[in-house]
Amino acid sequence: MSKLLVFAGSTRTQSYNRQLAKAAADLARAAGASVTLLELGDLDIPLYNADLEAQGTPPDVMKLKEVLDEHPAWIICSPEYNGSYTALLKNTLDWASSPVKNHAYWSDSSKPFAGKVVGLLSASPGALGGLRSLSHLSPLLLNLQCWLCPQQFALGRAGSAFDAQGQLQDATHQASVAAVVDQVLWAAKRLS
């Protein structure tokens, strides 16, 4: 069974991307994957600061690294702020990619990213659905040695896309998210 990690680059209570992450997680479970839906708001991760890091990597950063590392496949749902991904998402990736000095496992700067299969989704109230955030996020993840799935989906007009239970209402949207999920799971099986 494939292990899939799903998370959104938002902590807002009514975040469209958190709703999209939940929908993707549900579709992945239905496809037979073992899914962890990570809420970044549950982790106490400060703004990245090398001086703070020199005092010791924060415990929740170590938890984040471990969760990322134990999942060979990820789906990231990226909000779009000012045409790019969020500061929260960048900060999360910066901490996770920073090596831990003198640590037997985490001193390798490629961990926990190298070889991970990553699918990208986004949701936005605008017509483009956060597509520009994905175009900025892709080079960052490639630089971290992730395998990016070519199938991506940006959900436009997200304010009316979900029902009262937070599920996607449109079958076409469900199929588009499922296509990303399926490709991530397919690639992860072949690359692991």
Helix, strand or coil, per DSSP, at residue 38:
strand
Q: What is the CA radius of gyration of the chain?
A: 16
Question: Which pLDDT does position 27 carry in this prediction?
Answer: 97
For the sheet containing 34-38, what is the strand order? 34-38, 3-8, 73-77, 117-123, 147-155
Are 26 and 37 in contact by the 8 Å Cβ rule? The answer is no
The structure's pTM equals 0.97
pLDDT at residue 149, rounded to an integer: 97
Contact yes or no for 124/180 (Cβ under 8 A): no
CATH homologous superfamily of domain 3-191?
Flavodoxin domain (3.40.50.360)
CB 96 within 8 A of CB 58: no
For the chain, 192 residues long, the average pLDDT of each consecutive 10-residue run is 94 96 97 97 97 95 98 98 96 96 92 97 96 97 98 97 94 98 97 86
pLDDT at 62: 97
What is the structure's pLDDT at 188? 96
Q: What are the Cα distances from residue 25, in Å, to 55, 60, 106, 124?
A: 36, 23, 28, 19
Residue 192: its pLDDT value, please? 80
Residue 95 sits at φ, ψ, to 5 deg, of: -65, -45
